[in-house]
Chain A
Amino acid sequence: MSLLSIRDLTVHHGLLRAVDGVSLELERGEVLAVIGANGAGKSTLLRALAGLNAPTSGTVHLAGRDITRSPAHQRVSAGIALVPEGRRLFRSLTVEENLLTGTYRKRSGPWTLQRVYELFPWMTERRRQNAAQLSGGEQQAVAIGRALLTNPDLLLVDELSLGLAPVIVRRIYETLPEIVAAGTTALVVEQDVSQALRVADRVHCLLEGRSVLAGRPADLTAEQVEHAYFGIGDLTQDGKD
């Protein structure tokens, strides 16, 4: 059974149909990257998976359980964690306190405060610092650590590279294999296509809320991805070529 199964999911953002009939399956231990241009509906898709935006129609199953209508906090218990766009650390809490908020639901799993400190060794020294004083890359790492401490089966990461220097982004992505090795499945949303193709087992490309291209990075040509990303040409034909 797939870990995550999305069928015909439609989500509205105000009057806009931000996600339009998307279906996808995600197996345990996989890394799936959802790519697409600005406004393609990637973030709305993740927010709907995390329970922040209610879908208009369609279903979401996690390990066979229907969670389409569950509120966000119950999905944390069910095993979904979202690293939100823009990091969103708790500004008045210290680094360690931010991390510890992830342990609130006390879900069992491989991730402990100690283990997160091993993943990002610099944090140990700075754990008493206020989270607002960190740099963007450091904040991103804390946001990932916080999500890991909920011990999710499925980790959703939204626009990790947004506003960060490429070298920082690469360093953070280098931790992804270790996270997946610990038993976590990852779904990342990424605007930086080359980065996404590097880390993902499979990619899904969204265009105006619809899934237009899916496959393994090795099976896709640069042209196919480019066309799907920008919506050039006849996509179905290109896909078959």
Chain B
Amino acid sequence: MEYEFIVDNELKKLNMEQQGQSHSIHMDGHEYLADIKSLSPHIISISIKDRMYKIFIVRSKEGFHIQCQGDSYFIQESDQDEGEIQSSEEKSRKDMLNIKPTMPGKVIKIQVNEKEEIKVGQTLVIVEAMKMENEIKSSINGTVKKIFAAEGDLVDSDKPIMELEEKTE
């Protein structure tokens, strides 16, 4: 059976077939013969060449939360085709233009004005969350198109504080 997952922003294809007690797996040009068992609802053991690996896994609505030998992964099932993956790149482009705080907090200082020209790395706004000040910097060269928040405002991580416009060469 074919599976498509998105992990660390990459699309990964995997083929897994039951072969007697074992599973044969193909991915990225690698081939494995693995004995996969569920030890408990959230622990899966994978034995490859008599070596056992334990994988801790919880499936939520958003995807799979996994920890394996100290490494953490968040894996999503890909119900998208290539075009949609590209749109996730577009989305990150959009995120660069719509300045949002990484977590809910309070706007301490807005360092730029509307229409002002800005450069990559320039501090746009300082937001305080959990008593730490975080500077949000520009990742583009361009201008400030619109500012939606004022100093002292409480802001959410899903609403932009300001919108930028990229300079076109």
Q: Do A and B bind each other?
A: no
Q: Residues of A with Cβ closer than 8 Å to B?
A: none
